[in-house]
Each structure stands twice: as structure tokens, then as C-alpha cells.
Amino acid sequence: RERYTGLINRYRDHLPVSENTPVISLGEGNTPLIRLQNIPRLLGKDVDIYVKYEGLNPTGSFKDRGMTMAVTKAVEAGSNAIICASTGNTSAAAAAYAARAGITAFVLIPEGKIAMGKLAQAMMYGAVIMQIRGNFDAGMQLVKEVADKAPVTIVNSVNPFRLQGQKTAAFEIVEELNRAPDFHCLPVGNAGNITAHWMGYSEYHRAGVCNSLPKMVGYQAAGSAPFLRGGPVADPETVATAIRIGNPQSWDKAWALQKESQGWFDELQDNDILAAQRLLAEKEGVFCEPASAASLGGAMRDVRSGKIPEGSTVVCTLTGNGLKDPDTAIEQCREARMVTIDAELGAVRDAILSQM
Ligand code: F0G
């Protein structure tokens, strides 16, 4: 079998690259599609739910799929620096791929509102970090304006190569299931990823690789849900900091694909997002970050209500690794999961017996 060297080499026939394109890769893509065993039983419904564990990409999120393309094309065009605004994951991916390419990454992040793992990554990979007194939307606006005034390439999802790379997740799912799912559920911030998935499914459908298309379902955090409000949200707030976004960049594309695919948008309260994150970890052994759990939490609710009917095949994208945000995880579980005891045999035995 051929050595796996990342998604550009794997899918080069479907991507805007040539033989001479200098591929910048960290072996991203090819992530596991895990069939849930315990949660469907708990729901009492006959549904097949798979999670696409994008947290196993090289920097721990789906952003690596987009970043390998964006940085490859930036280097091909002769760029020496990239820039992005980010809630955390894009900054980690940009920093890593820039390091790999030997160019500079500038990242704008909202002060105090980024998960610790992501901040550690951007620092370690050597990005120039600008912490702004403002949110993601303010950072995004600044990045768009400065790109005209400084020699930097934007690698946010407004860069079309990002979505090209990210569409490959849909290719992998179709190949693994030998069909498209009936429903594909994702957390939505800027709506770049849901757009990219729809592009991927549509391309494979046109090419005859699959003969149906999924309904695309996007879930937002209730405090940051512009798709539910019908317009931008001025002060987005949510524990799922990755999707703390009030002014989505792929607004029109997302509405178009919602109609075309006959899917829908919905919202979840922070508590429901965290409960889904915990349930997935406790019942299936899969740890994702809070934002990612919005896909599963929403899907579970829609399966229960019958909006997603029995007999369906459902894929939920787990966009980021749970290790990205240790603080939120520990805060939720500390009391339920930890006892402090003396370092004595009797105390350990008592602790075991008390739990059985
Ligand atoms: N899940 C995670 C873990 C994310 O980091 C993001 C976006 C999304 C979902 C939403 O994806 O924006 O394509 O709809 N994170 C960006 C960032 C904004 O800066 O890391 P989307």
C-alpha cells in the first residue's frame, strides 16, 4: 500500500494543484469515521450515527484540511507571510503549516476567549500573536482591511483554497460508507466547513461516486446564532469559544446549501452542548471540544423528536479534539470524577467499594 502523505496528494485530481505545486503537508486528513455503539441504544432509536473525528488531524482540528491547501497555494504564489483572525483552531493550524513552509504566520485572537490548548499551539509553532481587545468578528474585519495594506495572504475561510481542502472530508465519508449519509450535522460558526462539505458531496454526486446527497444540518450555540436570528449578532457569547462568531463569512453560501440540500439550522444552549460532549466521552470514549459536540447534541435531539427519522444514516463532524480546551472539561467534571484520599491501601479499597 502507498504511504499516506496528506490530502493534497490523495485527492490531487479534485484539487487546484499541478505537478509543480510545492505541497505543504503534515499528513492531514484520513481521519476515523467512528460508528457510535452506545448512544443510539440510549436514544432508543434505530439510527446509524457516525462521528467523523477531525480532532485527530495534525493540529487537532479540521482546519488542517483547509490550511494545507491555503499555505501550499500561498507558497506557490511566492507569499512569505500569512494572516488570519481566529477563535483558536485556525491560528494553531496556520502557525503549524507556516512553520512547515518556513514562512511567517500572523494571528489575531480575541483576548481571554481562546482555549488554552490552542493558545499553546500558536505559541509553540512560532506565530506572531496579536491578542485583540475585541471578538473574532472585529479581528476578521481588521484582517480583511490590512491584507490590502501589507504583504500578507489571508488564510481564513474567505480564502477559496481553504474550502477546497476541507471538502475532502466529504470524499472520505462517501468512500468509507460507499454512499452519502442521509444527514450530515456540523457545528456552524462562519459556515465555511458546512459549505465545504456540501461542495465535496456535490462533486462526488456529479462524478457518480454517490447517487444521493445528504441533508445538511448546521447547529449553532444559542448565544452566537446569527443563522437563527436572521442577521449578525453583535455580542456573541458561548462556552463553545470556537464558534463564538456573530457575523458569519459564508452567510449566502450557507443559506443556499440549506435550501438545496433541504436541511436546516438550529441552536443549542451551552448546557446541552456540554452534556453532549460529556455523553460522547463517557459512553463512547471519544473526546471532542465543546463546539464540536453541538453537532452530536443537535443530532440527538432531532433523532429523539423524529425530525431525523429512524432508519437514517447520520454523520456528525467532531471538528476539534477535546484536549484543545482542558479548562472547560475539568471544570465540568471535577466534583463528579475526583476524590482526594490518603495514600493508604484501606483508603483506596474503600474508594473502589464506594463506587460499585
Ligand atoms: N468547530 C470548531 C472546533 C471550530 O474551530 C470552528 C471554527 C467551527 C467548528 C466552525 O466552523 O467557521 O467553518 O463554520 N473555528 C474558526 C477558528 C472560526 O478561528 O478556529 P466554520
Query: In this predicted structure, what is the pLDDT of residue 5?
Result: 98
Residues of the chain with pLDDT under 70: none
Angle between helices 89-101 and 116-124 (to 10 degrees): 20
Query: In this predicted structure, what is the pLDDT of residue 251?
Result: 98
pTM: 0.97
Residue-by-residue DSSP string for 39-104: HHHHHT---EEEEEEGGGSTTSBTHHHHHHHHHHHHHHTT--EEEEE-SSHHHHHHHHHHHHHT-E
Query: In this predicted structure, what is the pLDDT of residue 306?
Result: 98
Query: In this predicted structure, what is the pLDDT of residue 353?
Result: 95
Amino acid at residue number 149: K
Any atom of ligand 1 within 6 Å of the Cβ of 57: no
For atom 6 of ligand 1, the residue with the nearest CA is 242
For atom 19 of ligand 1, the residue with the nearest CA is 86
Atom number in ligand 1 closest to CA 192? 13
Tell the residue number behind the cell numbers 488554552, with chain if given. 116
How far is it, in rounded angstroms, from Cα 320 to Cα 326? 12
Across the beta sheet with 128-132, what order do the strands follow?
128-132, 104-110, 81-85, 153-154
Any atom of ligand 1 within 6 Å of the Cβ of 89: yes
Any atom of ligand 1 within 6 Å of the Cβ of 195: no
Span from the CA of 14 to the centroid of ligand 1 (angstroms): 24
Residue-by-residue DSSP string for 107-123: EEEETT-S-HHHHHHHH
